[in-house]
Amino acid sequence: MLLTKNIRSFESDNVVCKSLIKEKYYDQLKWLLQNRFIKSFEVCPTFQLSSKEEHEFPFLYTADFKIINLNGSVDVIDLKSMEKDEFYRKKRELKERFSCTLSCITYDEKQKWINREKLSWWSCG
């Protein structure tokens, strides 16, 4: 079962999580940081991305988490139940402009934390 429903808000360390999946991932990142598997992480990082059309203004994209790994690489995490076309455009631009990877992660009781792209690939095969 995927934990995608927005239920009551949770607060942990002055961080408000509006879904159970976000709270679980936040707790996971705290554990990874305490055990020195990651260098740091940020909640709700914002990136200025360009618009699709040339005459439109750039827009702000807010992800769920930004993780700085021990080797200095950056992972941006979006907790969603499904990727949309817009997700792939954001992923491409984040890689080109900010040298970071964007992953769409979800939680499944059987698989635990899983990248949605891999889950889609497995269910097609």
Could you please report the per-residue DSSP string of 66-121?
A: EEEETTS-EEEEEE-SS--HHHHHHHHHHHHHH-EEEEEEEEETTTEEEEHHHHHH
Instruction: Give the separation between CA 107 and CA 1, rounded to whole angstroms.
Output: 8
Say if strands 100-108 and 74-79 run parallel, antiparallel, or are unpaired: parallel
Query: 100: closest CA among 71, 66, 51?
Result: 66
pLDDT tens by residue, 91-113: 999 999 999 999 989 887 776 88
pTM for the full model? 0.79
Give the model confidence (pLDDT) of 23-62 as tens digits: 889 999 999 999 999 999 999 999 998 877 676 778 889 9
Q: What does the block give as tokens for 67? A: 């993780």
